[in-house]
Structure 1
């Protein structure tokens, strides 16, 4: 049986997630911030050899659980596809209230815009 490493697969393994309070705290302490109409993203370099994703989708911003879950699915899927182009950073996605007015295609394009902003800031 051959086991693929994280760098070879496009899965969204547990190692690619921010799970603990301390993981999130490290990002919230001294973040670099990017954003657009739909999202605010905080990120910070990590000591891992891969990027990690955290989601902070507030009930205050997106009332219905079905909408929060849809947004999380879209973010995870875009991250899964983009993970090999991202530097070694921890990202925390937060939503803005305007996201309720956007359909899936517009949310995906907003996420793509975030990836470009992150790449630009990391290149500095």
Structure 2
């Protein structure tokens, strides 16, 4: 019999929730840039990786496109969360992300997370 698979969730403690959390990252961030997405990160005092999303209307006009990008990023983070260093991460989208194929976006976020 095989072992049960590890449940990969996105619990509340793995999210950036408050404005203060976001401000700490924005003020003291290192940056990884891709063609469609930008990853801001800094060391986390919580001892584990935490994710925040800043997918603005200014760059991605349609709500459906913003939600699609957020789903893809959360899924990629959820699959790698236990293997990531203790970092607070914020993902930003560029305007071209709205029209990018989901496979391109997923490959890019995987690449950005891998570089950490």
Offset of residue 117 of structure 1: 2.0
Out of 47, 52, 55, the residue aligned to residue 54 of structure 1 is: 52
Structure 2: which 5+ runs fail to align? 1-5
Normalization by structure 1: what TM-score?
Answer: 0.86
Aligned residues: 111
For 1:58 and 1:85, the matched residues in 2 are separated by 28
What is the aligned partner in structure 2 of residue 31 from structure 1?
Answer: 29
Offset of residue 100 of structure 1: 2.1
What is the aligned partner in structure 2 of residue 86 from structure 1?
Answer: 84
For 2:35 and 2:95, the matched residues in 1 are separated by 9
Structure 1: which 5+ runs fail to align? 1-7, 119-124
Question: Runs of 4+ in structure 1 displaced over 4 angstroms?
Answer: none
Normalization by structure 2: what TM-score?
Answer: 0.91
RMSD: 1.1
